[in-house]
């Protein structure tokens, strides 16, 4: 009995790292999906024009593009742990800062910073799982992680509409911020360092030349364009659906969340 318990404890401890990534990634998705049914109310409360509703998603996605070029090379030089821990803390603080937002400008800045979580997760987090668990185990873990995270577009709008009937929208971001802190603590104690720092100097010119070489490769270029154009209709709908359905279509938040869940 003891050896079996020991194996369970050991494997459970190891799997806390992927669990942290699931919480982190799921929380990042929820920042858009959870507040989608109430985004019109958010814009109105902050006394902004309803045409700015899509900018909430656009700035989040812009944040997801901002640091992709930097984080990979940086984590190669100083290690994966400090980079990913920094990203999780930035995400958590940006989410908690929504409690103090009083203007549309502050809201958009926080959304942009939240969006940088995409950079940390995709560039550092996923790579760390592959390096820590090996090829076959990492494939299984990534498949499970993706399956769970993809529930966010289904659960998020429904949960958001239900919660907004009882609590202010700012507290939804605070809840997400708490999830981010839970992920940060799990990463702090359970994330292994998979890169040995060699003390190499960070050279932006070298990074730029690597990116130019990568995008000159036809497989990389066509694959990137295919993924971008494949996701474009989905992102466009997420950004515009509150305006189309609520502002112009007469939907209420409950109808919007059911429509979103059905489409997913």
Distance CA 177, CA 107 (A): 15
**Which among 183, 209, 180 is positioned nearest to 31, based on CA atoms?**
180
Task: Quote the tokens at residue 80.
Answer: 């994966």
Residue 2: its pLDDT value, please?
43
Mean pLDDT by 10 residues, the chain (264 residues): 43 79 95 88 92 93 91 90 97 98 97 96 93 88 89 85 90 97 96 79 79 86 89 82 71 57 52
Residue 87: its pLDDT value, please?
97
Note every long-range contact of 93-97, with CB atoms under 8 Å and residues 24 or more positions apart, other chains counting: 93/177, 94/177, 95/27, 95/31, 95/173, 95/174, 95/176, 95/177, 95/180, 96/173, 96/174, 96/177
Residue 9: its pLDDT value, please?
45
Residue 243: its pLDDT value, please?
76
Task: Quote the tokens at residue 118.
Answer: 């995409």
Q: Which residues of 110-128 are buried (b: 16+ CB within 10 A; e: fewer)?
A: bbbbbbbbbbbbbbbbbbb
Residue 68: its pLDDT value, please?
87
| CATH number of the structural domain spanning residue 135 | 1.20.1250.20
Residue 1: its pLDDT value, please?
41
pTM of the complete model: 0.87
The domain tally of the chain equals 1
Residue 111: its pLDDT value, please?
97
Residue 12: its pLDDT value, please?
54
Which residue segment(s) compose the domain that 38 sits in? 2-263
Task: Quote the tokens at residue 152.
Answer: 């966010």
Residue 255: its pLDDT value, please?
56
Residue 188: its pLDDT value, please?
96
């Amino acid at each position: 009995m003891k050896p079996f318990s020991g194996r369970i404890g050991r494997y459970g401890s190891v799997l806390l790292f992927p669990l942290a990534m699931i919480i982190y990634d799921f929380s990042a998705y929820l920042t858009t999906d959870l507040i989608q049914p109430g985004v019109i109310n958010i814009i109105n409360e902050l006394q902004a024009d309803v045409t700015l509703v899509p900018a909430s998603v656009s700035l989040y996605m812009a944040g997801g593009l901002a640091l992709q070029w930097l984080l990979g090379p940086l984590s190669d030089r100083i290690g994966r742990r400090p980079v990913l821990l920094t990203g999780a803390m930035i995400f958590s603080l940006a989410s908690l800062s929504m409690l103090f937002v009083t203007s549309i400008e502050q809201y958009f800045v926080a959304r942009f910073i939240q969006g940088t979580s995409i950079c940390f997760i995709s560039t550092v987090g996923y790579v760390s799982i592959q390096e820590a668990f090996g090829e076959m185990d990492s494939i299984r873990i990534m498949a499970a992680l993706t399956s769970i995270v993809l529930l966010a577009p289904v659960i998020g709008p429904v949960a958001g509409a239900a919660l907004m009937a009882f609590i202010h929208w700012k507290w939804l971001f605070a809840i997400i911020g708490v999830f981010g802190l839970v992920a940060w603590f799990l990463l702090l104690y359970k994330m292994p360092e998979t890169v040995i720092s060699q003390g190499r100097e960070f050279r932006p010119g070298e990074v730029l030349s690597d990116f130019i070489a990568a995008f000159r490769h036809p497989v990389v270029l066509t694959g990137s364009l295919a993924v971008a154009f494949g996701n474009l209709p989905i992102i466009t709908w997420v950004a515009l659906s509150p305006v189309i359905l609520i502002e112009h279509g007469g939907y209420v938040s409950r109808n919007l969340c059911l429509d979103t869940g059905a489409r997913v």
